[in-house]
Chains A and B, each alone.
Chain A
Amino acid sequence: MSEPTADVIDLLAGVERGSALDRIRAQRPVARENAQKSWAALFEPEEPGTVSALERYAVAAFVAALHREPATARFYAEALAGRDAGLATAVAAEAERGGAEGPYGGYPAGKLSAEDKPGPVHRVSEEGRRVLGSRLAAALEHTHLLVFRPRDASAAALQALLDAGWSTTGIVTLSQLVAFLSFQIRVVAGLRALAAA
């Protein structure tokens, strides 16, 4: 094994050792350690299963770009570009096309229907599909749904992933990846604001 990866949230939020933010994070030491373990389980898994490292970084670069948090967007874009520059360009182009402001989504018909807020459905471009392939294109379309329209999720959306070659376990990993990043990016954004205020 190489050196353990530095704490990614500390890195992205600019938490210096001995700083006020460092002491605040130290108050939730198990959360700090396990946010990093979650990152490691997703990006440096002991058993990668059916989801390749390239797929994981492509999805991460897409999620981070959609959230427009500069430090995390750059981190995952560079990580992907270092593995496959062409793929990084295609993912960045899809994120550019897919920009939106969530959360959107509908509710089961009833009283809450008054709060339904239809949002954009992302379809990967033909050009993007040629670079990404159908499996990764399906993953990015599902990722866009999870990022912006989480309450529009459906069994049919999961069937689209199965049809594109994702396994049941692979879908769990993909879902965790998008959901974890939705957490990580917000912790980074929140801690940066806390330090700046």
Chain B
Amino acid sequence: MTETVLTHPDNQEPTVFTQDELGWLPWLEPYPADQLTDRHFAGLVDPARAKSDYFRLLVRDPDVLQARTETDKDIFYNPEGGLPRAERELAATAASRFNGCIYCASVHSRFATVHSKRGDDVQRLLDEGVGADLGERWNAIVAASVALTATPSAFGTEHVRRLRAAGLDDAAIADVIQGAAFFNWANRLMLSLGEPQVRAQG
């Protein structure tokens, strides 16, 4: 097993937030693809993830990865009630923008755009930051996600009331909370175990 870090001196890191597809280069050796066991594949959940350096690094602790992935999928993909998918992705993007995870923000801003058809507003959030004016409903979701992302959390009853005033029911507000909270998990893994990479757009 390699017990030194991997460095990428020639990598071109993105210097702006973008909706373009980015690559990601690990700082620690991913688990070897040819040594993956059934337990590792259970941890990966989706076998195609064996191709990803990020997931093959996390699969070194397969039980945590498996539970993390199932948590993620239910918060973002479960169609029952709550917040529309586009706005769950908006919460993820806002948390990632505030923490400064260019990679996570790229993936989830693309999803926010696809599901909302409001690509220009999503881009303004990336370009101008979390203070961008996106209309009151989105502003309330961004503000709540940002307050929850601060450490210590600055999220309070005033954020809940603003979200209710913007038309969210409590199940939708719980989705904002879980979506933003989840990206405080995801951002910290993505930011601390490797670096993003600009890829040629094709």
A contact set with B: CB distance below 8 Å: 20, 24-25, 27-31, 33-35, 37-38, 40-42, 45-46, 49, 66-69, 100-103, 105, 107-112, 115, 145-148, 150-151, 153-159, 162, 167-169, 171-173, 175-176, 178-180, 182-187, 189-191, 193-194, 196-197
Contacts and interface: CB of A to CB of B under 8 A. Distances in A.
A160 B26 CA distance: 16
Contacts of A151: 99-101, 191
Given A28-B78, A186-B184, 18 more contacts: A28-B82, A28-B174, A30-B78, A31-B75, A40-B67, A41-B64, A66-B152, A67-B151, A107-B100, A107-B102, A112-B16, A150-B191, A151-B191, A158-B193, A172-B58, A178-B188, A180-B64, A193-B156
B112 interface: no
B61 A187 contact: no
Given A30-B70, A103-B151, A186-B184, A191 B177 contact: yes
Contacts of B81: 27
A111 B185 contact: no
Contacts of A186: 148-149, 153, 155, 177, 180-181, 184
A187 B178 CA distance: 6
Contact of A150 (B3, B67, B101, B170): B101
Contact of A182 (B65, B67, B129, B188): B188
Interface of B: 1-7, 13-17, 27-29, 57-58, 60-61, 63-68, 70-71, 73-75, 78, 80-82, 98-102, 129, 148-153, 155-157, 159-161, 164, 170-171, 173-175, 177-178, 180-182, 184-189, 191-193, 195
B30 to A, nearest CB: 9
Contacts of A68: 152
A196 B158 CA distance: 10
A100 B74 CA distance: 32
A105 B192 contact: no
A158 B191 CA distance: 12
